[in-house]
Amino acid sequence: MSEVRVWVDGARVAPDEPALSALDHGVTVGDGVFETAKVDGGEAFALSRHLARLDRSMAGLGLPAADHDRVREGIAAVLAGEPIPFGRLRWTVTAGRGPLGSDRQASRLTYVVTAVAHDPPPPSGAAVTVPWVRNERSATAGLKTTSYAENVVALARAHEQGALEALFANTRGELCEGTGSNVFVVTGGVLRTPPVESGCLAGITRELVLQWCRAEALEVREETLPLEVLAQAEEVFLTSSVKDVLPVSVLDGRELAAPGPVTTAVREIWATHAARTVDP
C-alpha cells in the first residue's frame, strides 16, 4: 500500500505523527466537513467544484467559510514531488479546538489535506441494499460531513456480502444513495437518478454526468424513485469522484448487464468530456 501524504495546518507530517489536538471538535464530535477528489496524472480533478461544495457544507454546519488558499496550499504540498498517477485526494476542515460536548467555542479552523496513490476502480462491481435509511430531513442531509459512522457500518455489511457498495433508501422508502456514491438506474431504456430532495449528496460526478449527458442529448431524469426500482432496473451504475461511472454487475444477488448500452453511452460521454479539462 502506498504511503499516505499528510499536511496539517501548514506543514507536511508523517502519516503516524501526532498532529491534531485531542480536543479538536472534528475528533470529539465529528464537527467538520471534507471533500474527496480524484488524482489523475498528478492533478486534482474538478477542484473548483469540490471547493464550492465545501463552502456549502461549511455553511450548512454553521461554520465560518473555509480559506480556499489554505486548502490549495495543502493540496500543493501533498501533490508535490513524485506525481501520483491515480489516487485519492482528501481535505478536511474542522471547527477546531472545542469542548468535549456538542457546544462550540470560538476557535481557529483546523485544515488537514491527504493524498494517496491506489489502483483505479474495477470495471464493475456488486452492490447490496441495507436495512438502514438516510434521513432526508436531517440537519446534515446533503452535507459532506465527517460524521461518517453510519456509512462505515453499512459499507462493512456490503463487504461481508462480497459487494463494494451499500445502497440506502430514505425514510420515505425512496431510493437515495450509496455510502460514498450516487446511484443511477435505467428503466424502460431511460436513465434516472434520485433528486437531491431525496437526501442524497449532490455528488460532483453526478452533477457532471447530468450536465454532460444533457449536452449530448442523452435523456436523464432526476425523479423520485421507490427503492423497489432496483429490482426491475435494466442497468444500474454508481458515480463518485474516484469511481467515475462504475457499472453494477450484481445487485442483491441479481446479475445485471455491466455495462449495458445506456451505461456504455454514459461512460463514453464521460471519457470524452473529462479528457478536455482537469477542472470542468
- DSSP-assigned states of every residue in 158-202: HHHTT-SEEEEEETTSBEEEESS-EEEEEETTEEEE--GGGT---
Q: Which CATH architecture has domain 4-117?
A: 2-Layer Sandwich (3.30)
pLDDT digit of tens for each residue in the chain (280 aa)?
579 999 999 999 999 999 999 999 999 999 999 999 999 999 999 999 999 999 999 999 999 999 999 999 999 999 999 999 999 999 999 999 999 999 998 889 999 999 999 999 999 999 999 999 999 999 999 999 999 999 999 999 999 999 999 999 999 999 999 999 999 999 999 999 999 999 999 999 999 999 999 999 999 999 999 999 999 999 999 999 999 999 999 999 999 999 999 999 999 999 999 999 999 9
Chain mean position to CA 112: 17
Question: What whole-number distance in Å separates Cα of residue 189 and Cα of residue 186?
Answer: 6
Which residues belong to CATH 3.30.470.10 in the chain?
4-117
Which residues belong to CATH 3.20.10.10 in the chain?
125-275
Of the candidates 48, 112, 37, 115, which has an alpha carbon nearest to the alpha carbon of residue 79?
A: 115
How many residues belong to the chain?
280
Q: Which CATH architecture has domain 125-275?
A: Alpha-Beta Barrel (3.20)
Of the candidates 168, 158, 170, which has an alpha carbon nearest to the alpha carbon of residue 125?
A: 158
